[in-house]
Amino acid sequence: MRAILIDDEISNLENLRSLLEKHCPQVTIIATAQNVSDAVDAIEKYSPDLVFLDIQMGDQTGFDVLRQLLTRNFDIIFVTAYDHYGIQAVKFAALDYLLKPIDIDELLNAVNKAEEKLATQIQTSQLDFLLQQLKKPETNVSKIALQMQSEIRYVTLSEIIRCEADNTYTHFFLSGDEKILVSKSLKEYADLLRPKGFLRTHQSHLVNPKYVKSWLKEDGGILLLISGEKIPVSKPNKDTVKQALQQL
């Protein structure tokens, strides 16, 4: 895989380079860039398979690089030291990212995933989605990208009835009796969707309060959904769930 590394700090570039050389022999570094315009030039010149993109680059961001590109037919791994908003958007788009200092296992995982991805269109559409989301203020984000086995589904949040954990996978129950299996843990989605009002009723249940019909007192508390499904509420979550439902 031909890769370009983009970071405004030389030491970070050096670091990533040495890590890749040591642990990911399948990756060939064809270029590095330390600012946005160099990065755009390099990508357009070399058409890489993979781009390691730092989000925070001085006064500019890695997203600026993406915005200036005409075609984005490469896989991308975001790298960031600390950028809450950026990472949040990246997560909503189901894209891969690494945190500095770089964890070698995470690096291997991300590179492997990139290697597996053959259909780059998926990536392109995810990047489009990401850039769209970035245009909006954080609170207006209303869609999420769900990475399935062979496709990416873009789902509006109001479509999601509930999520249920299945080991490291997550089942999404959508309106219209659709069920999607996503290869990420419920915890990650809970972190993303809780700020959007979703209720973590149970270790393995995340519920969109829009679809809650009533609170049943049986068995210490159960949520009855409009669909007729019953979702358990675990003891430690009872109070917060109740409170949240009252505020609706």
Partner 1 sequence: MKKILFTFLSFIIALSTVNAQKGINYFRKAGVGGKMLMSVDSSAKNLFCWNIFSNQPHTSFNFLPDVHNASVEIYFRKVDSPQHYRYTILENNKPLVVNKPIDLAQLKDANAGDEEVFRAATFGIVPIKDKIITIITYDIQKPQDVYKTVFYGKPIPRAKIQGFSKRFKTDLGVDYSWISHPKDRTKLTFTEKDDELTIIKDKSDVDYLYYISIKENKTGEIIFESTAWQYGGISEEHQFLPYVAFDKSIFKKSGDYEIIIQPRIKWEGCRDCDLSVKDREKYITRHTLSITLNEESYTKKELLIYTFAVALSIGLIFLIILYFNKKRNKRKLAEKEQQKNIAKLELNSIRSQLNPHFLFNALSGIQNLMNKNEIDNANKYLSKFARLTRNVLDDKELISLSQEKTLLDDYLQMEQLRFGFKYEIDHSEDLDLDIIEIPSMLLQPFVENAVKHGIAKKATDGKVTITMMKQANDLVLTVTDNGNGFDTKKKYMGLGLALSDGRIALLNSIYRKNRFTLAIESTTIGTNISLTLTDWL
Side-by-side strand order, sheet with 2-6: 28-33, 2-6, 50-54, 75-80, 96-99
Contacts of residue 120, Cβ cutoff 8 Å, sequence gap at least 6: 73, 74, 75
* Tokens linked to 194: 């809780």
Q: Give the contact letters, 96-135, x = binds to partner 1 (CB under 8 A), - = no.
A: ---xxxx---------------------------------
Contact status: 8 vs partner 1 (CB under 8 A): yes
- What's the closest the beta carbon of residue 228 comes to partner 1, in angstroms? 46
- What's the closest the beta carbon of residue 42 comes to partner 1, in angstroms? 18
9-17, 116-124, 157-165, 189-197 -> range binding partner 1 (CB under 8 A): 9-17
- Cα–Cα dist 69/224, whole Å: 48
- What's the closest the beta carbon of residue 31 comes to partner 1, in angstroms? 19
- What's the closest the beta carbon of residue 83 comes to partner 1, in angstroms? 7
* Tokens linked to 224: 């009855």
Based on CB atoms, which residue is closest to partner 1, 18 or 214?
18
Contacts of residue 125, Cβ cutoff 8 Å, sequence gap at least 6: 152, 154
- Cα–Cα dist 79/16, whole Å: 10
Q: Give the contact letters, 26-65, x = binds to partner 1 (CB under 8 A), - = no.
A: ---------x--------------------x-xx------
Contacts of residue 39, Cβ cutoff 8 Å, sequence gap at least 6: 4, 6, 33, 53, 62, 65
Which parts of this chain interact with partner 1 (CB under 8 A)? 8-12, 14-15, 18-19, 22, 35, 56, 58-59, 81-83, 99-102
